[in-house]
Structure 1
Amino acid sequence: MPRLYSTLILVFGLFFTTSAQQKFTISGKITDQRSNETLISVNIIFPQLSTGTVTNEYGFYSITLPEGNYTMQISYLGYATITKTIELNKDLLLDIQLTEETESLDEVVIKEDVERINIKKPQMSVNSLAISTIKQMPVVLGEVDVIKSITLLPGVTNAGEGSSGFNVRGGAADQNLILLDEATIFNSSHLFGFFSVFNPDAIKDIKLYKGGIPAKYGGRVSSVLDIYQKEGNSKEFHANGGIGLVSSRLLVEGPLKKDQGSFLFGGRSSYAHLFLPLFDLDNVAYFYDLNTKLSYSLNNNNSIYLSGYFGRDVFEISDSFENSYGNSVLNFRWNHLFSDKLFSNLSLIYSEYDYDLKLNFVEFDWESGIRNFNVKYDLKHYISNNFKLEYGLNSIYLKFNPGEIIPTTEDSGINPFKLIDKYAFENAVYIDAEHKLTDKFAVSYGVRFSTFHRLGQDELYIYEDDNAVVFNEDQQIYQSATPIDTLNFRRSEVISSFSNIEPRFGMAYQLNETSSLKASYNRMSQYLHLLSNTNSPTPLDVWTPSGKYIKPQLLDQVAIGYFKTFKDNLFSLEVESFLKKIKNRIDYIDGANLIANNAIEQVILNGRARAYGLEVLFRKNEGKFQGWLAYT
């Protein structure tokens, strides 16, 4: 018997070794030939095997195939498709450069296989927009706008007239996670919503996840808008700009060290305030923003990035009123390649949003804001052509300034007053798998485990039966409860803790070469809430954390869809139906006071929300005339 076991182990070992020897890995980066800019979501296809892969957020790809000779097709929107013949008898490091296609007004030819890959993948409810496409769309006052462009997609609507906020599948504007180079943007608008904060000249890639959201994303219950900035031209110095009706812009990029490092600086500023004195108006109204990025490749396995965004809006009416608000983000990232199958990214992120209002006629200044410090570590493991893993962790420290009144003169009749600062920790670990089970059936499955700890503050009100809001039976309305006690906490003490398991699942069944059925489910939690008296975001809105009386929002969403391409991907059709339910959706009692309220829990209700719908997206992908029709 021992000899039999030894023989079986030896045979299995020989089989495994032989199988392993027959497969090799092709990996590398794909970049723009002119600027050396890494390209996101490039398609790498092997027609003989009807398989392929795409580059990640840093232009890296990896695929493992059996030994043999292959034709390799590389295609990307707006770039010339190239074909390579390779002999795969060992692991290959293959960096590829693509050449941008020459576009003219009379003909734009785009050669890609995006739709065919989309048919096979379990990912659904995600839309990608090329910045070149956005720049061809109709604009408001000559300004290209990223946020307004995505509202042309199915399931996405404006948060309000003139607002750059957006709602996804019946959700609220604060339920969207907006990321710029992985850093959170808390307010995406300039000029109180007429324009977004994203300079199109500095943007490289845009993805909107409406459902089936991967486990690496969390913290919001409606959608994820993931935007990446350009890295800059590492080959030569380059500058471009433009003058619009509302603002002017300038972008400068060039090498820190040729083919190894680059810089990018992009700025925008409005100039309407320069003309106001011509009309004897002693007013000021302008915005500005600055995009920055430094990129450097240390060697083949290590790259570092330092990126930032700084934006501000300023309004002044004579000498009586001054208002300013804006975002600031800074992000340091380190890419490390452990092997040709294991890619990692470490991010250290700072995000801030602050609001300032000066009322000089009553001589006081109102300030509020939110800050977070985020550490993220993400890994992607290309185990085989049929199985990929993504896993990682992140930890966020948050500080909330609900508001502070500061007298601006010694003679002011206003007393200084500060709402209690709030602090919290939000942590998460996740794992996500994409598994091709057969030629026709693929699944993705994962889980995110999140925790939230509301940290101590100077004082916390206590209510009878822990109800900060009570229902008045006689008047049939909700009213604020009266505190019965007060507790004091140190900064390091935990007031409340929450934890949630957030499963994610997706599947795709290929009906034939041109069509498939897909389904997805995801649960998500949101621990931050935007307090607002309006349907659309305004600068005066205040973020507040979950706690003893304000519970985290929890989402459950399911979606099913039918996907089809026609005439060699000339046309494509996506039809999706979804149902989403949200627990603990924020609502307010009648007459709620949200400004300078030290007991905000007394006006907040934890409600429920439900949304369901049908979305249709029909695209024409190639030729002189391109575009899409969307119906929701």
Structure 2
Amino acid sequence: MSGSVVDDTNQPVAGANIIVENSSTGTVTNDRGEYSIKLAQGDFTLKITYLGFKTIRREINLKSDKTLNFTLDPQTEDLEEVVVSDNIEKINIRDPEMSVSKLDGSSIKKIPVVFGEVDVIQSLLQLPGVSNAGEGASGFNVRGGATDQNLILIDDALIYNSSHLFGFFSIFNPDAVKNLKLYKGGIPANYGGRVSSVLDIKQKTGNSQKLKGEGGVGVISSKLTLEGPIQKDKSSFLISGRGTYAHLFLKLTDNANSAYFYDLNTKLNFDIDEKNSLSFSGYYGLDYVNINDSFTNIYGNAFGILDWSHKFNENITSNLNFSYSQYNYELDLALVGFNFENSISNFDLSYQIDHEINSNLSLSYGLSSIQYTVNPGEIVPTTADSGINPRKLNNKYAFDNAAFLTVNQSLSDNINIQYGLRVSAFLRMEDETIDIYEDNNPLLYDETRDIYVEAEPIDSRQGNTSRVNESFINFEPRLGLSYILDDNTSVKASYNRMVQNLHLLSNTSSPTPFDIWTPSGSFVKPQKLDQFALGYFKDFENIPFTLETEVFYKTIANRIDYIDGANLIANDAIERVILNGEGRAYGLEFYLKKNTGRLTGWLSYTLSRSEQRTPGRTPSEIGINNGDWYLNGYDKTHDISLTSSYELNDKWQLNSNFVLQTGRPVNFPVGQFEFQDLNIPVFEGRNLNRLPTFHRLDLSATYTPEKKNKNWSSSWNFGIYNVYNRRNAASLNFEQNSTTGQNEAVRFSIFGIVPSVSYNFKF
């Protein structure tokens, strides 16, 4: 028996449960809302469930192969439910998938955020094992990993920078997002290329029945989404845009500064016939920052995807995906008289087949190939007297090819297993110009001063960008296991090996748009992860709570480390300032959530440690930090989040969010000396100090007036970010007081208390 599950707008429902009552048989729908299950002939009662929708029960008399499609209707009294992970229904307790969190669009919109601008990344930060460098910081960190170690996909297109306005907002428009899935471990073999996590975001498919829309007007931004049929029941479109207008208020106050962003999402879907469908997804976003007409910064992402899904039969489906992604950065310094640009782009072609052998065994296998082009930078003088020489850094080219296989198998009523293998072949092409160093060593060690110094090339040669310079072939096994203690309890374990061949060059804890990617090559080795995780999962039968707790341990080989004083800006010989080190992280994650009732929400707690070490290459070298382990910039010993939503009545919904975190590691000076009337600070070791503890409380209330028009609904959202005006430190700067002459620590904070109001509507 096979078919599909859609909602009332004809959008596929991924993760819906198909359960055969009074048996241990069941399955879940895939990302396209499709399912397939093998049953013996006879009479059955099917139960189709998905949180937020009414349960369907259907009596089935099965005499031969049958196709059954289901449409789920919303269950309004359950709209307050927050869907975070798959482990709610009993069927998911059995799934060997672990270290995975889910959020849907409605859940994301409930969490209070700064300026009232709903944000996907801020929602992720409330989950265990996920953090960032602080307020206004770009990206996110998973289990002590760096932001560049997260694979971010929107409809399978690669994203290189997930932030707007240097991290204040993310590029993900929540009105265009159907759901997201964050893998922190137990990652299937079809994903690769990063060593920390996978964030897989799916956009809405568009309503094929009728024209609908939604939007909102906020303090600094507005948004509008339209969706509807191109040909009813056959094709649909979705277009969603948003933009900020805070810069317009700056002009009214004669402020010469300006900062804004806008983005546009689109998706087209075509059901060609019962076995074939096509979809196209696209995105374009741009950020613009201008400071007194002397500094202009423009950057943004763009991608386009063409996807073909084909159903061979009830048991075999395939997906062919072709995409192009690009990230551009431009900096114009009129004060100095030069323009700097860099970019990264890729073409990606992948083919995947999902094959269900029987109800106890299914396969997923395929191939992928990605071609990367990295432009590290080009400097162009913009005035005749700028004093800047034009310079073009070498473009870098690479191919990342892979074959993968994932097997899901039920070994018994109590044991389910997922295992797989990914084989990756990374080919780094030659640069246009190749520097040659004495003894092939671009980084020298001065034993007299115990410091590393850049080596000067002794020669150079012309390269051929169509010739392979270095190749890296790696085997990446994956394993997941679940042992069912009872219908509501399971223990799970997983192991992952993953390889990353793209590295972000950044010497800040929170990457900036200026940071540059570089592929593995002669002196930059692939990062290699080994991660182990063990978890206990409980769906309480008589009370509306679920519990997830996991411990993890991971090591990363060949993690880039920078020598003291490393210059990463417009550096065409990055091999002269880096060393290959290693990293490790381990911890405990606790996650308790209440799923039903007027009060819903969750409590998450993470206890962890994340460290890095770079020993010397020879016994005479001291390495970085004397070769000792040191805390990396993403370590947070304690991380607590408490998120709640209370349905006061039909008109009012109250939301809250409390966060408490250990301050991130930093360096404070331990002394100083004077040189030519200047005070020079002295530092010892790396990340021996911490910023003060971070904590914050956010509140919001949503008012939904009574409908006066059945075709129009609206709501008002009132929020207070940082209710008690906590001045959390983004940094501590040590300065000399101009009055007393004494040294002092000055706290720099980004946000105090921030009220907001927004109006949202649907039609």
TM-score range, shorter chain: over 0.9
- Identify which of 431, 437, 451 aligns with 1:463: 437
Amino acid at match of 1:471: Y
TM-score under structure 1 length normalisation: 0.93
Q: CA deviation at 1:364?
A: 1.6
- Identify which of 422, 428, 441 aligns with 1:448: 422
Q: How does 1:311-322 map to 2 (within 5 A)?
A: 311-322=285-296
Q: Give the equivalent residue in structure 1 for 2:117.
A: 143
Q: CA deviation at 1:113?
A: 7.9
Distance 2:548 2:291 in 1: 49
Q: CA deviation at 1:118?
A: 2.3
Deviation by residue 1:25-60 (Cα, 9 ceiling, x = unmatched): x11121112x21111111111122222111111111
Q: How does 1:543-622 map to 2 (within 5 A)?
A: 543-568=517-542, 570-622=544-596
Q: How does 1:232-243 map to 2 (within 5 A)?
A: 232-243=206-217
Structure 2 unaligned residues grouped into runs of 5+ = 607-763
Q: Tell whether 2:266 aligns with 1:302.
A: no
Q: Give the equivalent residue in structure 1 for 2:134.
A: 160
Query: Is the CA contact 2:430–2:468 (under 8 Å) kept in the aligned structure 1?
Result: yes
Distance 1:306 1:43 in 2: 28
Q: Give the equivalent residue in structure 1 for 2:751.
A: none
Q: CA deviation at 1:568?
A: 4.7
- Identify which of 146, 160, 179 aligns with 1:205: 179
Deviation by residue 1:562-582 (Cα, 9 ceiling, x = unmatched): 111112572111111110000
Q: Give the equivalent residue in structure 2 for 1:539.
A: 513
- Identify which of 24, 28, 31 aligns with 2:6: 31
2:448 aligned counterpart, secondary structure: coil
Between stretches 96-105 and 71-80, larger displacement belongs to 96-105
Distance 2:569 2:332 in 1: 15
Q: Give the equivalent residue in structure 2 for 1:626.
A: 600
Q: CA deviation at 1:487?
A: 3.0
Q: Give the equivalent residue in structure 2 for 1:490.
A: 464
Deviation by residue 1:200-244 (Cα, 9 ceiling, x = unmatched): 000001100000100000000000000000011110011111011
Query: Is the CA contact 1:147–1:164 (under 8 Å) kept in the aligned structure 2?
Result: no
Amino acid at match of 1:152: Q
Q: How does 1:206-225 map to 2 (within 5 A)?
A: 206-225=180-199
Q: CA deviation at 1:412?
A: 4.1
Q: CA deviation at 1:342?
A: 0.5
Q: Give the equivalent residue in structure 1 for 2:478.
A: 504
1:118 aligned counterpart, secondary structure: helix
Between stretches 475-484 and 234-243, larger displacement belongs to 475-484
Q: CA deviation at 1:103?
A: 4.4
Amino acid at match of 2:188: P
Distance 2:50 2:419 in 1: 27
Distance 1:152 1:58 in 2: 27
Amino acid at match of 2:105: I
Distance 1:104 1:563 in 2: 23
Between stretches 615-624 and 440-449, larger displacement belongs to 615-624
Between stretches 158-167 and 439-448, larger displacement belongs to 158-167
Amino acid at match of 1:535: S
Query: Is the CA contact 2:430–2:466 (under 8 Å) kept in the aligned structure 1?
Result: yes
Deviation by residue 1:281-317 (Cα, 9 ceiling, x = unmatched): 1222100000000001000100000001110100112
Q: CA deviation at 1:319?
A: 2.3
Q: Give the equivalent residue in structure 2 for 1:22.
A: none
Distance 2:58 2:95 in 1: 24
Query: Is the CA contact 2:364–2:407 (under 8 Å) kept in the aligned structure 1?
Result: yes
User: Identity over aligned residues, as a percent?
Assistant: 56
Q: Give the equivalent residue in structure 2 for 1:100.
A: 74
Compared CA separation, residues 164 and 68, structure 1 to 2 (3 A): farther
Q: Tell whether 2:375 aligns with 1:401.
A: yes
Distance 1:468 1:562 in 2: 49
2:466 aligned counterpart, secondary structure: coil
- Identify which of 339, 345, 348 aligns with 2:322: 348
Q: CA deviation at 1:478?
A: 2.5
- Identify which of 103, 111, 126 aligns with 1:129: 103
Query: Is the CA contact 1:141–1:245 (under 8 Å) kept in the aligned structure 2?
Result: yes
Distance 2:510 2:500 in 1: 19
Q: CA deviation at 1:413?
A: 3.3
Distance 1:30 1:115 in 2: 17
Q: Give the equivalent residue in structure 2 for 1:71.
A: 45
Q: Give the equivalent residue in structure 2 for 1:365.
A: 339
Aligned length: 604
Query: Is the CA contact 1:113–1:569 (under 8 Å) kept in the aligned structure 2?
Result: no
Q: CA deviation at 1:556?
A: 0.3
Amino acid at match of 1:577: V
Query: Is the CA contact 1:160–1:535 (under 8 Å) kept in the aligned structure 2?
Result: no
Deviation by residue 1:338-371 (Cα, 9 ceiling, x = unmatched): 1110011100000000100111222221100100
Q: CA deviation at 1:475?
A: 2.2
Query: Is the CA contact 1:109–1:624 (under 8 Å) kept in the aligned structure 2?
Result: no
Q: Give the equivalent residue in structure 2 for 1:427.
A: 401
Distance 1:583 1:470 in 2: 22
Amino acid at match of 1:174: D
1:498 aligned counterpart, secondary structure: strand
- Identify which of 148, 164, 186 aligns with 1:190: 164
Distance 1:244 1:482 in 2: 55
Deviation by residue 1:426-451 (Cα, 9 ceiling, x = unmatched): 00000000100000011111000001
Query: Is the CA contact 1:115–1:569 (under 8 Å) kept in the aligned structure 2?
Result: no
Q: CA deviation at 1:411?
A: 5.2
Distance 1:541 1:221 in 2: 19
Query: Is the CA contact 1:363–1:408 (under 8 Å) kept in the aligned structure 2?
Result: yes
Q: Tell whether 2:20 aligns with 1:49.
A: no
Compared CA separation, residues 469 and 284, structure 1 to 2 (3 A): same
1:608 aligned counterpart, secondary structure: strand
Deviation by residue 1:99-143 (Cα, 9 ceiling, x = unmatched): 1122489x7699x98341221111110011122111111121101
Q: CA deviation at 1:474?
A: 2.4
Distance 2:397 2:82 in 1: 53
Q: Tell whether 2:341 aligns with 1:390.
A: no
Q: Give the equivalent residue in structure 2 for 1:23.
A: none
Compared CA separation, residues 80 and 113, structure 1 to 2 (3 A): farther
Q: Tell whether 2:54 aligns with 1:60.
A: no
Amino acid at match of 1:248: S
Query: Is the CA contact 1:466–1:549 (under 8 Å) kept in the aligned structure 2?
Result: no
Compared CA separation, residues 250 and 109, structure 1 to 2 (3 A): closer
2:37 aligned counterpart, secondary structure: strand
Between stretches 354-363 and 472-481, larger displacement belongs to 472-481
Distance 2:204 2:545 in 1: 30
Amino acid at match of 2:471: S
Distance 2:239 2:528 in 1: 39
Distance 2:437 2:332 in 1: 35
Amino acid at match of 1:126: V
1:141 aligned counterpart, secondary structure: helix
Q: Tell whether 2:285 aligns with 1:285.
A: no
Amino acid at match of 2:153: L
Distance 2:82 2:455 in 1: 65
Between stretches 456-465 and 151-160, larger displacement belongs to 456-465
Query: Is the CA contact 1:358–1:364 (under 8 Å) kept in the aligned structure 2?
Result: yes
- Identify which of 251, 274, 286 aligns with 2:248: 274
Amino acid at match of 1:274: L
Q: CA deviation at 1:517?
A: 1.1
